[in-house]
């Protein structure tokens, strides 16, 4: 009888545990459904939005929490969006091309105006290289699939050098900076604030920035699933970004003072980068889609992506 009672108690405890686990899982899913997971990089408007802390109370009114995750560059950020680890983020022109070609469920939801001076091809101050054409046969460091990948492609094209005639060395910004400083590469294609930091610390010279070559847009994305389920939340995030953007363009020095400690750079360096940045958070337009399609077509022509893609398939335009 004692054994029977013990077995009954054990069965009851086990049943309670299973029910509790199921309830806990359901509760966890409900909680997860009420979370906006935002991916950001070390620099940009999302960093400012995070540091200002104005988004959290806005979304709390709708029962949402905000979870922030930092990424070193655009490609891993969009990979996180692809696998469902984040819901919203921003990158430059090139990463979404690779992501869309790989089947990632991204949706363009907004953009910032062109900032062509915010990325550049740098060489050491004592380098014999004077022109982009001089890169022929040289080692060029860059972050594969990032915005500067397109800058390099178009700058070489303009200079009459084939992409196949240079030796790309694919490195993340920190590793590329180290290789650049020790002379392991001949040039480095990089974006701000890394660009401004290298110029200040090493005296690096600019062979070319994006002026007259590329637009250097910044884009904001949501996962297709999240956008379809939460369009008003995406709009709320964009509205807060616009507010931060308005503040930033009106007081660049104050923004630099706020950003500098967080990204480990001096205020003057951050100010240089901010002055080369564009301002305004705008809805996607047909003209921007057409510009982005040119990037996609150029990458497909160079076999950098495996298939042709249509940007309009993944762009949210006003009213949609």
Q: pLDDT tens digits, residue range 24-48?
A: 333 344 444 599 999 998 888 998 9
Q: Residue 19: which pLDDT band, with cuts at 50, 70 and 90? A: very low
* Cα gap 79→86, rounded to integer Å: 9
**DSSP letter assigned to residue 282:** B
Instruction: Check residue 271 and give its pLDDT.
Output: 95
* Cα gap 94→292, rounded to integer Å: 9
* Percent of the chain topping pLDDT 70: 89
Instruction: Check residue 225 and give its pLDDT.
Output: 96
Instruction: Check residue 12 and give its pLDDT.
Output: 30
Contacts of 303 (CB under 8 A, 6+ apart): none
With CA atoms as reference, report the closest residue to 222 among 212, 213, 206, 233.
233
- Range with the poorest average pLDDT among 21-30, 108-117, 163-172, 189-198: 21-30
Q: Answer whether residue 121 shows pLDDT above 50.
A: yes
Q: Comparing 1 with 209, which gets the higher pLDDT?
A: 209
* Cα gap 292→96, rounded to integer Å: 10
The β-bridge partners of 40 are 70
Q: Which two tokens stand for residue 81?
A: 């969006």
Q: Rg of the chain's alpha carbons, rounded to an integer?
A: 23
Q: Answer whether residue 292 shows pLDDT above 90.
A: yes
Taking only the tens place, the pLDDT of each residue in 81-120 is: 999 999 999 999 999 999 999 999 999 999 999 999 999 9
Q: Answer whether residue 10 shows pLDDT above 60.
A: no
* Cα gap 70→80, rounded to integer Å: 11
Instruction: Check residue 33 and give its pLDDT.
Output: 56
Q: Residue 167: which pLDDT band, with cuts at 50, 70 and 90? A: very high
Instruction: Check residue 51 and give its pLDDT.
Output: 87
- In order of their start, the domains of the chain are 34-113+217-314 (3.40.190.10), 116-209 (3.40.190.10)
SS (H, E, C) 206-244: EEEECCCCCCCCEEEEEEHHHHHHCHHHHHHHHHHHHHH
Q: Residue 262: which pLDDT band, with cuts at 50, 70 and 90? A: confident
Instruction: Check residue 317 and give its pLDDT.
Output: 76
Count other Cβ atoms within 10 Å, centred on residue 68: 16
Q: Answer whether residue 219 shows pLDDT above 90.
A: yes
Tell me the mean pLDDT in the region 230-248: 95
42's torsion region: left (phi>0), alpha (psi -120 to 50) or beta?
alpha
Q: Residue 319: which pLDDT band, with cuts at 50, 70 and 90? A: low
Tell me the mean pLDDT in the region 227-251: 95
Q: Answer whether residue 203 shows pLDDT above 50.
A: yes
Instruction: Check residue 320 and give its pLDDT.
Output: 60
Q: Report CA 233 to chain centroid distance, whole Å.
A: 20
3-state secondary structure of 277: coil
Mean pLDDT, the chain, as a whole number? Answer: 88
């Amino acid at each position: 009888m004692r054994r029977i009672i013990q077995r009954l108690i054990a069965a009851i405890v086990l049943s309670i545990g299973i029910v509790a686990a199921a309830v806990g899982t359901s509760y966890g899913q409900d909680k997860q459904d009420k979370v906006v997971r935002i991916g950001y990089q070390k620099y940009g408007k999302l960093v400012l939005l995070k540091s200002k802390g104005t988004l959290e109370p806005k979304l709390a009114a709708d029962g949402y929490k905000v979870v922030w995750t930092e990424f070193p560059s655009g490609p891993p950020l969009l990979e996180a969006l692809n696998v469902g680890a984040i819901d919203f983020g921003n990158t430059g022109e090139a990463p979404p091309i690779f992501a869309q070609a790989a089947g990632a469920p991204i949706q363009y939801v907004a953009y910032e105006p062109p900032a062509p001076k915010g990325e550049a091809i740098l060489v050491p101050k004592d380098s014999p290289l004077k022109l982009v054409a001089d890169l022929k046969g040289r080692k060029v460091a860059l972050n594969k699939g990032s915005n500067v990948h397109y800058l390099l492609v178009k700058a070489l094209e303009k200079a009459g050098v084939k992409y196949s005639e240079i030796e790309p060395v694919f490195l993340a910004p920190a590793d590329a900076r180290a290789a650049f400083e020790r002379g392991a590469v001949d040039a480095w294609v990089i974006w701000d604030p890394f660009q401004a930091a290298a110029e200040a610390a090493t005296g690096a010279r600019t062979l070319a920035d994006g002026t007259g070559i590329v637009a250097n847009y910044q884009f904001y994305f949501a996962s297709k699933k999240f956008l379809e389920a939460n369009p008003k939340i995406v709009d709320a995030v964009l509205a807060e970004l616009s507010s931060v953007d308005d503040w930033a363009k009106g007081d660049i020095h104050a923004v630099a003072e706020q950003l500098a400690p967080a990204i480990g750079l001096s205020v003057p360096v951050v100010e240089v980068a901010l002055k080369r940045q564009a301002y305004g958070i705008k809805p996607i337009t047909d003209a921007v889609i057409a510009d982005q399609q040119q990037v996609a077509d150029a990458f497909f022509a160079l076999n950098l992506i495996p298939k042709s893609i249509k940007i309009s398939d993944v762009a949210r335009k006003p009213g949609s």
